[in-house]
Structure 1
Amino acid sequence: MITSKNLVHHEFIGLAVDVKSKSNKSLNLYGIIIDETKNTFKIESEGQEKIIPKKGSIFTFEIPSGEKVEVNGDILSIRPEDRIKKRFKKI
């Protein structure tokens, strides 16, 4: 079960996300994650696919419980399969 405490250790594909870019306001959008690489998310938004860099972005994920969880994309810049195993420091 995905919770706010274990979100970063789970698969993101299929989750709704609101993106805020620190450096490029044209990358601010809301959509569904359809793919992930080490450095990017591919998000479907308004019928279009957009590739968003993880670094420099703030992601607000909507988890299945309806809760919204904000995550700094800088800590997500790791291969998805490695992120699942990694331990993160609490901020």
Structure 2
Amino acid sequence: MQYNNKNIVLSELIGLRAKIVECLDKKQKGLEGKVIDETKNTLILETKNGIKKVIKKTAVFKFYVGNKSFTVRGEEISFRPQERTEKALKYYKLRRLID
């Protein structure tokens, strides 16, 4: 799949590199690692300091795909992975395609 600024909210996130750019939990801001799992409410990152769980709705993430990066508000991906295509469609429609 070719990732872009619109379809990132509909896409598989497991395996992507991610960084937390904003978070209500200030200790998690700046945390980065590889997404190894996710639930409806959390992203699970493998970081250099171990496995960390991040609550999606309290954070803004930057996902890295190749030489591109995409910023996503946690609320845009706060769905079960298998429900994302259907439920995140409203966010997909609101996002602008930026290349």
TM-score (norm: length of structure 1): 0.88
In structure 2, the residue matched to 1:90 is 94
Aligned length: 90
Q: Secondary structure at the match of 1:13?
A: coil
More moved, 7-16 vs 81-90: 81-90
Q: Does the 8 A contact of 2:40 with 2:79 survive in 1?
A: yes
Q: Secondary structure at the match of 2:13?
A: coil
Cα distance between partner residues in 2 of 1:36 and 1:58: 15
Cα distance between partner residues in 1 of 2:11 and 2:24: 27
Cα deviation, residue 47, structure 1: 4.3
1:43 aligns with one of 42, 45, 63: 45
Q: Secondary structure at the match of 2:83?
A: helix
Correspondence 1:26 to 2:27 = yes
Cα distance between partner residues in 2 of 1:69 and 1:62: 7
Cα deviation, residue 9, structure 1: 1.0
List per-residue Cα deviations over 1:40-78 (Å, max 9, x = no partner): 0000111400011001100000123x1111000012111
Q: Which has the higher contact order (CA 8 A, sep 6+)?
A: 2
For structure 1, the 5+ residue unaligned runs are: none
Q: Does the 8 A contact of 1:3 with 1:63 survive in 2?
A: no
Please identify runs of 4+ aligned residues in structure 1 that moved more than 4 A.
none
In structure 1, the residue matched to 2:76 is 75
User: Which residue identity lines up with residue 19 of structure 2 in the other structure?
Assistant: D
Cα distance between partner residues in 2 of 1:21 and 1:62: 16
Cα distance between partner residues in 1 of 2:34 and 2:24: 21
For structure 2, the 5+ residue unaligned runs are: none
